[in-house]
Structure 1
Amino acid sequence: MHLLDSVSVLAFILSAVEANSGYAPEKVSCPSDASFVREANALSSQESEWLDKRHTQTQPALKEFLTRAGISDFDIEDFFDDASSNITIGLAFSGGGYRAMLNGAGQLSALDSNTRNANELGLGGICQSSTYLVGSSGGNWLTGSIALNDWIGIEDLVYHDEGDGVWDLNNSIFDEGGWNVIETISRFTSIAKELAAKKDAGFETSITDLWGRLLSYQFFGSDNDASTALTFSSIKETDAFQNALVPFPISVADGRVPGSEIINLNSTLFEFNPFELGSWDYSLKAFTDLKYVGTPVNNGRPTSDYCIKGYDNAGFVLGSSSSLFNELLLDLKDNSATAILYELIEDFLTFTDNENVDVAIWNNNPFYNTSYGDSETVLKSNSLYLVDGGEDGEVIPFAPLLQSERELDIIFGFDSTADSEYLLPNGDSLVATYERQFLNLTDSNAFPYVPDTNTFLEKGLTSRPTFFGCNGSNLTELSRIPPLIVYVPNIPYTYLSNTSTFKMQYSNSEKYAMVQNGFEISSRKNLTLDSDWQKCIGCAVIQRELERTGQSQPNECKECFDRYCWDGSLTTNS
């Protein structure tokens, strides 16, 4: 081993491993008449109240974007005066490790009017017009980094005056010190202290705790032990969120019992938002107050004279959504520089085998013995077991945005998956989401018709943005008219952005190039591939409201739809 022998390392760490209260959940007094679980038959009152404030922000921003888009024969003021409801836009970013995070950063920056040149050369203003922001796995590293760093801008995340920014990816997340072994040792020592504290507080610690803490150092910096006490529910305390100046962030994960396997699309889909954790699926059909997750409960009511606070650690939430990467941690056992560190931390981990390595343990189960769902494996277990949000095949996290209660008009789905032989998208995630709606797993979860993956590839639907569900009148056989989908796949325009999902190091030049290519994807190469791209996006955004109010589609929008809408045809070998 470099610089220090293993005996010295072990002695150094053992002397430092003491309870660290920052990461461990703590006991607090329960709210009066505490009852934390509700049926998932409507939005929470908190989300509904927040939406009212958000729409006062999004509608003026959308007017500004549509004005800049310049659709002919379209009166913006009349359109909004006659609107039957607010237009609701969602942004969904797929998993795919750092590839998805960096591509997504560039794609989102092209939608943000605060980004240089986004208004002139991209889709600046769409972000300000959006109501929801959803991420899964690597896409959730993007959305979580933004929301949990007090809504930091993309340019500050990435560039920070051309320095490393918040995202310093020069060294692997597993070997932050690089040649400096002592720095790596120090980091693992801090994490070992944190895991020990959580275990001493009476909670199981899985390998996802280790993964989540590593992510925290990557995304929240080293100050205050990488924001060791930062929680996902604390997002609702930020001024930007309270004033609804930003979209509503959602993180996704799948449910799974240890030892079992995800059975295609049947697993329970969970969402984390600043207010709640839960699922719309019939298997659970309930939400709980995220702030008090970890409290021993029966049917949502505390069974002790105390409640738990701080269990929803920010890194642990991001880790639960991306637990697929836990498997890489097992490789530490074979690395002479980190094996002794892993062996020490392993003392605090419940699962270290390959079969269950992706499981995140959430105990106590906040839904224990509730009466709304029909899955005993979820409702009768003492712990909640979550895994990576893309393990069921729905790597683009559309699901939270398809619920009828949220009334989405349009969803932008950013796809940085690597399902084709060239590590590029092939449409699999859309096919999975389309098929899940017919399994009768949840209420009114409609998704437009999409083709099979052969058609995606052979018709070039992954080599440019494509609209799905353009004409609502063609979707009446579905459970309801779904949102229009703007599908934006990863395309290597100015950089080979089809990097491996498990590439864990990016130099600054690689990082900048990935983000810049993402901007080119969203902007259609700075509008050079289509000077009407802003106009066509404006047409897609207003389409559902035009249909609701019976207004005719502007001629320019018809031309855009001819260009970007899937025409319903399939390849002959489909």
Structure 2
Amino acid sequence: MQRFFIVILVLLTPGLATAPFQVQCPSSPLVREAKHELCLEESSYLKKKEIKTKNKLIDFLKSLDEARFNSKFYKRVSKDPPRLGIAISGGGYRSMLLGTGFITQMNDYGLFEYSDYIAGLSGGSWILMDLVVQNFNVNSLLTEWDLDEDLLLGIPEFDISEEEIVTNAKKEYIDNDISKKKREVRKTQISSFPEFYDQVELAVNSFEESPEECSLVKRNMNPLTRLKRIFFPNNTFTETDAKIGTFKTVLDFYKNLHLKIKPKKMEGFQISFTDYWGKAIIQRLRKNFDEDPNHTFSFSKLVQSSAKFKECSVPLPIFVANCKNGLLSNVIFEFTPFEFGSWENILRLFVRLPYLGSKIVSGEALKCVNNFDDLGFITATSSSIFNNVLIFIWNLASQSSRDAMKALNMVMGIFGLGKEEMFSISKDSSRLETDYAVYQPNPFYLYPKVDNVLTNKDHLYLVDGGEDGENIPLRTLIIPERELDVIFVLDSSSDIDNYPNGSKLKKIFEKLDEENIHYQFPKNIKSLTRPVVIGCNATKRPGRDSFLPIIIYHANAYHQYVSNTSTFKITYNQSEVNNMLLTGREVFSSDYDLHYKNCLGCILTKRTMDRLPKKKKFSPFCLQCFKDYCYS
């Protein structure tokens, strides 16, 4: 208990506080209307980056013996270099490990730092977090991740697809006789997030030091005993319950998360399950950030302090999430190092990221804060499909013994996902749904001339894009303002046997069709073991003079190693890690195929050639490459 007391003292030390704090509001507006342009910071970064990294592509092209490009071609490419983006799908650790191998192979080709953007959601967002922590050094990725320890203590591994989790989590409960379940299943004492938080807070704050024993006691009851009585009031901690995890180990894990979140709560901000989830992700890093008094978790500050980012020599990271205000579907929000907001026509507003969490009404800043843009919280927002894991576990256990049910419900209650919280419709319209990531205050609240579900409430609900079946962060890169020419897509979805079948990409194409942006997905794909290039033909954007980007679609598939691990596999040994990384490399390089590598030179520069005022003939080699790999 002395160690626990030390943890509390550390958290109360002002120099270590990572909670949002009030600052003076700047004189310039915090919210901008995204009409037809990027923000100034993003535009400036890209211009500087083009100068800094364009030789990376020239070096790659010169390394291609089979393609045999000439000096005139290199001059054209240098004068009008193509813009590249990377989109990493969700899929838990499977996606993170495959994606890390994928961009490592890109880096070996010199194409990672050349790329302008890297977008990620869910497991893909964990790569972005790792990149930020590692100063964008690709070769340092995973060095700080503790993959041997459970990502979420007390939650067992099981093999189920994301789609089953999302579509069945609530449906299975609702389709049953709820009243019967309420009679059969004994209600636990912790049934909601606020109740859990308040009771743990009461126990944590009920400490008094006993000189005789030099320990923390309260009425002869130490905090562990108090918390045990909260969760198990009738002393029902049985061997069955213990199968989910040793009580003390699991409890200490969540108790420490609670203490890390407490400063944000004390500042008056609404907290939710996602706050816990964000701290859990950060905790998987081996670095002990608590020992560094100058450390910050602010996404904007971490990126801006990165030496490589200052040099404008790395892709700009974009975290993607979906909004659930008013039961919206497929409405994308994004976090860049500069801004938070949405390009969707329903909003097209952005707030300066360092001031996220400020009270802004009708576009006017009333109270400004920094540090709300916590890297763990943003990453957790993008990967909140794990919220549904806990709901699904509850459903799976609904026919189990009462002891097992109580144990599972206890773990869910820790996250504010007790059945009463999740499956009841609140009559109190002021109660926030804390199973979502809660962004309050809403920076776009009552913004002039924008009156809809995204502006008429003082909060935003954000979730994992996988909840809407949009498991690939592609649309954020296709927007015309970013003028990308080629987008590398890595799809690690679990469509069939934890392998993708292209259905997630097809769903995105259907959404793009609604926006008058048309791609054709191959109807008869013989194999997903090699890249599929989509949109090779130079098609103009609706109402614009620029071309739609080429999409190079890579799908996780069997190469030398079975890489269809469960999305919810939460531990990996070193051998498994190495094999997943190898598969990611093989996916990008098409099994180190030198012919494909040469063809990649043709594909990456095709839009540069398409933009020439006079139609130029491609080399016979490139024409054959387009026949071999392009579908349009």
TM-score (norm 1): 0.82
> For residue 310 of structure 1, what is the aligned residue in structure 2?
371
Secondary structure at the aligned position of 2:468 is classed as coil
Q: Which moved more, 1:200-209 or 1:229-238?
A: 229-238
Q: Which moved more, 1:381-390 or 1:215-224?
A: 215-224
Larger Rg: 1 or 2? 2
Q: CA deviation at 1:24?
A: 2.2
Q: How does 1:4-15 map to 2 (within 5 A)?
A: none
The reply on whether 1:396 has 2:381 as its aligned counterpart is no
Q: How has the CA–CA distance of structure 1 residues 372 and 434 changed in structure 2, closer, same or farther, with 3 Å as cutoff?
A: farther
1:65 to 60, 63, 73: 60
Whether the aligned pair in 2 keeps the contact of 1:63 and 1:76 (CA below 8 Å) is no
> For residue 253 of structure 1, what is the aligned residue in structure 2?
321
Q: CA deviation at 1:187?
A: 3.6
Whether the aligned pair in 2 keeps the contact of 1:97 and 1:138 (CA below 8 Å) is yes
The reply on whether 1:446 has 2:521 as its aligned counterpart is no
Q: How has the CA–CA distance of structure 1 residues 33 and 405 changed in structure 2, closer, same or farther, with 3 Å as cutoff?
A: closer
The reply on whether 1:492 has 2:558 as its aligned counterpart is yes
Q: CA deviation at 1:300?
A: 2.6
1:136 to 118, 121, 134: 121
Q: CA deviation at 1:15?
A: 7.9
> For residue 119 of structure 1, what is the aligned residue in structure 2?
none
Q: How has the CA–CA distance of structure 1 residues 179 and 501 changed in structure 2, closer, same or farther, with 3 Å as cutoff?
A: closer
Q: How has the CA–CA distance of structure 1 residues 564 and 108 changed in structure 2, closer, same or farther, with 3 Å as cutoff?
A: same
Q: How does 1:179-258 map to 2 (within 5 A)?
A: 184-219=250-285, 221-224=287-290, 229-234=296-301, 235-257=303-325
Listed as ranges, the gaps of 5+ residues in structure 1 are: 1-7, 114-123, 159-164, 569-574
> For residue 384 of structure 2, what is the aligned residue in structure 1?
323
Q: Which moved more, 1:138-147 or 1:327-336?
A: 327-336
Q: How has the CA–CA distance of structure 1 residues 400 and 216 changed in structure 2, closer, same or farther, with 3 Å as cutoff?
A: same
State how far apart, in whole Å, the 2-side matches of 1:14 and 1:145 are.
25
Paired AA for residue 434 in structure 1: F
Q: How does 1:96-495 map to 2 (within 5 A)?
A: 96-113=91-108, 124-154=109-139, 156-158=140-142, 165-175=143-153, 184-219=250-285, 221-224=287-290, 229-234=296-301, 235-257=303-325, 260=327, 262-263=328-329, 267-303=330-366, 306-329=367-390, 346=416, 352-353=421-422, 358-371=435-448, 373=450, 376-420=452-496, 422-440=497-515, 446=517, 448-451=519-522, 455=523, 458-472=524-538, 481-495=547-561
Secondary structure at the aligned position of 1:43 is classed as coil
Q: How has the CA–CA distance of structure 1 residues 179 and 170 changed in structure 2, closer, same or farther, with 3 Å as cutoff?
A: farther
Q: How does 1:545-564 map to 2 (within 5 A)?
A: 545-549=608-612, 550-564=615-629
Deviations 1:283-323 (A, max 9, x none): 111111010011111133212xx411111100000000011
Q: How has the CA–CA distance of structure 1 residues 471 and 391 changed in structure 2, closer, same or farther, with 3 Å as cutoff?
A: same
State how far apart, in whole Å, the 2-side matches of 1:449 and 1:405 are.
22
Deviations 1:402-447 (A, max 9, x none): 1111110100001111112x2211112221221112324xxxx735
Deviations 1:249-276 (A, max 9, x none): 1110001027x3x54xxx3211100000
Listed as ranges, the gaps of 5+ residues in structure 2 are: 156-243, 398-403, 425-432
Q: How has the CA–CA distance of structure 1 residues 496 and 75 changed in structure 2, closer, same or farther, with 3 Å as cutoff?
A: same
Q: Which has the higher contact order (CA 8 A, sep 6+)?
A: 2
Q: How has the CA–CA distance of structure 1 residues 390 and 13 changed in structure 2, closer, same or farther, with 3 Å as cutoff?
A: farther
Q: How has the CA–CA distance of structure 1 residues 13 and 240 changed in structure 2, closer, same or farther, with 3 Å as cutoff?
A: closer
Q: CA deviation at 1:383?
A: 0.5
Paired AA for residue 355 in structure 2: Y
Secondary structure at the aligned position of 2:489 is classed as strand
Paired AA for residue 394 in structure 1: E
TM-score (norm 2): 0.75
Q: CA deviation at 1:12?
A: 8.4
State how far apart, in whole Å, the 1-side matches of 2:129 and 2:246 are.
29
State how far apart, in whole Å, the 2-side matches of 1:466 and 1:495 are.
21
Deviations 1:468-504 (A, max 9, x none): 011215x688976310111111012111101111111
Identity, % of aligned pairs? 31
State how far apart, in whole Å, the 2-side matches of 1:298 and 1:103 are.
43
Whether the aligned pair in 1 keeps the contact of 2:532 and 2:552 (CA below 8 Å) is yes
Paired AA for residue 298 in structure 2: T
Whether the aligned pair in 2 keeps the contact of 1:327 and 1:354 (CA below 8 Å) is no
Deviations 1:19-76 (A, max 9, x none): 6862421111222344333334311000111111110123100000000123545324
Paired AA for residue 324 in structure 1: I
